[in-house]
Amino acid sequence: MKKNLAKKKRIWIPATILIIIISLRIALPFILKSYVNKTLANIPNYYGQVADIDISLIRGAYVIKGLYLNKVDAKSQIPFLDFKQTDISIQWKSLINGEIVSEIVMNEPSFTYVFEDHKSTNNQNTQEAEVEDWSKALTNLVPIDINRLKINNGKLAFVEVTTDPTIDLQLNTISLEASNLRNIVREGDKLPSNLNASAVSIGNGTVTLNGNMDIIKSIPDIDISFSLKNADVTALNDFTKHYAGIDFSGGKFGVASEIAINDAYLKGYIKPILDDAKLIGKEDKFLNSLWEGFVGFFKFVVKNQKENTIATKVPIEGDLSNVKTKIFPTITNIFKNAWIKAYENISDESIEFKDASK
Residue 354 has pLDDT above 90, yes or no: no
pLDDT of residue 151: 97
pLDDT of residue 324: 66
Residue 121 has pLDDT above 60, yes or no: no
Question: Rounded mean pLDDT of 206-215?
Answer: 95
Residues in the chain: 358
Cis omega (within 30 of 0) for bond into 272? no
- Residue with more model confidence, 52 or 329: 52
User: E strand or H helix at 227, and its extent?
Assistant: strand 221-232
Question: Rounded mean pLDDT of 55-81?
Answer: 87
Lowest mean pLDDT among 109-123, 256-270, 283-297: 283-297
- Residue with more model confidence, 287 or 36: 36
Tell me the pairing of strands 102-114 and 146-160.
parallel
The residue extents of the domains of the chain are 233-358
Q: What's the chain's average pLDDT?
A: 81
What is the C-alpha separation between 89 and 61, in angstroms, rounded? 4
What is the C-alpha separation between 282 and 290, in angstroms, rounded? 9
Residue 298 has pLDDT above 70, yes or no: no
Q: What is the CA radius of gyration of the chain?
A: 26
81 Cβ contact partners less than 8 Å away, ≥ 6 residues apart: 48, 67, 68, 69, 70, 109, 110, 111, 134, 138
Nearest to 80 by CA among 72, 88, 91: 72
277 Cβ contact partners less than 8 Å away, ≥ 6 residues apart: 233, 248, 250, 251, 252, 253, 310
- Residue with more model confidence, 57 or 297: 57
Residue 337 has pLDDT above 70, yes or no: no
339 Cβ contact partners less than 8 Å away, ≥ 6 residues apart: 304
Return the ∠ at Cα 347 (arms to 340 and 179), rounded to 5°: 170
What is the C-alpha separation between 117 and 75, in angstroms, rounded? 6
Q: How confident is the model at residue 185 (pLDDT cuts 50, 70, 90)?
A: confident
275 Cβ contact partners less than 8 Å away, ≥ 6 residues apart: 251, 252, 253, 254, 307, 308, 309, 345
Q: How confident is the model at residue 188 (pLDDT cuts 50, 70, 90)?
A: confident
Three-state DSSP class for 330?
helix
User: 129 and 43 in contact (C-beta within 8 Å)?
Assistant: no
125 Cβ contact partners less than 8 Å away, ≥ 6 residues apart: none
Return the ∠ at Cα 20 (arms to 14 and 26), rounded to 5°: 135
User: 55 and 28 in contact (C-beta within 8 Å)?
Assistant: yes
pLDDT of residue 279: 73
Residue 14 has pLDDT above 90, yes or no: no
Which residues are 70's β-sheet partners? Answer: 47
27 Cβ contact partners less than 8 Å away, ≥ 6 residues apart: none
159-180 pLDDT, tens digit per residue, is: 988 888 888 999 999 999 999 9
Residue 218 has pLDDT above 90, yes or no: no
Three-state DSSP class for 341?
coil
User: 183 and 216 in contact (C-beta within 8 Å)?
Assistant: yes
Percent of the chain residues past pLDDT 90, beyond the cut: 30
